[in-house]
């Protein structure tokens, strides 16, 4: 017989309702007394018993008795946005900046942070307040021009000071991004004017350097042309000197040859005259030119 039949062909609703209530109660009881819990990656599980912390569980499966509860506590990197943090430089110039601070909770500080500051690992409000205070303290050490010129140093100082300040909250600073660095309107106008003047100065310097380079190029070209002309003149002079030297040497050889020729001719003439003298019979010739008589002078005495 069907347990839900009333024996008259109908349904026993009381029996059915009783079973539904029993199953529901068993499910609720099982859910309440379920000892298996899971701590996801990048988190810690805070085990509490009647509100008191009993332990910190790492990632993975956790078995707990029904009288204890598990709260998931995030230790991943978190971001805190600080919009328009304001401060004042040492020369009393107001300054504003927006910052993004990335931080995480130290795993060994989870119990302390859970007890004092946050049940889920979100410390954004504490980080924002600490960042504002640190920014004011750091900017007060710099003048406005130094704050601009030494921005990386300022960022390092803020980072170091904020790390020290957030240690009391159990947080580690990962990095800090600064953006929208701005001063008062009048000072920004002065900076823009200075930048414009600096750009004009650089343009003038570049133009001057261009002109100087062009002048140096012209001087170099003129110098090269002068050197080439001088080298050509030196070459021509050297060539002319060599030609003159060669001509002089030729004249010397020619004169020497002529002098030697004269001496040879004179020697030959003397030899010829000697031969003639040896062959002369002591008689003078009767005619010089054809039949013309040879004139003689009477040297012994004159006519009376």
Which DSSP symbol is given to 294?
P
* Nearest-angstrom CA–CA distance, 63 and 65: 7
| Position 263 pLDDT exceeds 90 | no
| Position 67 pLDDT exceeds 80 | yes
| CA end-to-end distance (rounded Å), the chain | 225
| Position 130 pLDDT exceeds 80 | yes
Alpha-helix runs per DSSP H in the chain: 13-33, 110-116, 124-139, 144-149, 151-166, 185-279
Per-residue pLDDT reduced to its tens digit, 157-216: 999 999 999 999 999 999 999 888 788 777 767 777 776 777 788 888 888 888 888 888
Do 95 and 178 touch, CB atoms closer than 8 A? no
**Distances from the Cα of 184 to the Cα of 96, 188, 195, angstroms:** 9, 6, 16
Higher pLDDT, 284 or 96: 96
pLDDT (0 to 100) of residue 288: 52
Q: What pTM does this model have?
A: 0.53
Backbone angles phi, psi at 55, to 5 degrees: 170, 165
Per-residue pLDDT reduced to its tens digit, 77-95: 999 999 888 888 898 889 9
pLDDT (0 to 100) of residue 274: 76
Closest CA to 61 of 33, 32, 34, 101: 34
Per-residue pLDDT reduced to its tens digit, 273-301: 777 777 766 666 555 555 555 554 554 44
Contacts of 7 (CB under 8 A, 6+ apart): 1
């Amino acid at each position: 017989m069907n347990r839900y039949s009333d024996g008259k062909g109908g349904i026993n609703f009381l029996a059915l309702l009783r079973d539904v209530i029993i199953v529901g109660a068993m499910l609720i009881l099982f859910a309440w007394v379920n000892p298996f819990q899971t701590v996801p990656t990048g988190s810690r599980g805070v085990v509490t018993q009647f509100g008191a912390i009993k332990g910190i569980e790492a990632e993975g499966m956790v078995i707990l008795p029904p009288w204890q509860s598990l709260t998931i506590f995030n230790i991943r990197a978190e971001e805190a946005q600080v919009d328009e943090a304001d401060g004042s430089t040492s020369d009393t110039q107001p300054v504003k900046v927006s910052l993004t601070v990335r931080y995480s909770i130290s795993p060994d500080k989870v119990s302390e942070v859970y007890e004092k500051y946050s049940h889920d690992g979100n410390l954004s409000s504490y980080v924002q307040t600490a960042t504002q205070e640190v920014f004011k303290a750091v900017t007060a050490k710099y003048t406005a021009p130094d704050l601009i010129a030494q921005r990386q140093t300022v960022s390092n100082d803020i980072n170091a000071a904020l790390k020290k300040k957030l240690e009391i909250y159990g947080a580690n600073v990962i990095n800090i991004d600064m953006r929208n660095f701005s001063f008062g309107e009048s000072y920004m106008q002065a900076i823009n004017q200075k930048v414009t003047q600096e750009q004009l100065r650089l343009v003038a310097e570049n133009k001057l350097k261009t002109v100087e380079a062009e002048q140096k190029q012209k001087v170099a070209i003129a110098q090269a042309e002068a050197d080439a002309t001088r080298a050509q003149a030196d070459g021509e002079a050297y060539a002319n000197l060599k030609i003159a030297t060669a001509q002089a040497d030729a004249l010397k050889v020619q004169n020497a040859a002529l002098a030697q020729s004269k001496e040879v001719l004179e020697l030959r003439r003397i030899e010829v005259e000697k031969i003639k003298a040896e062959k002369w019979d002591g008689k003078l010739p009767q005619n010089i030119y054809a039949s013309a008589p040879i004139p003689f002078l009477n040297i012994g005495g004159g006519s009376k």
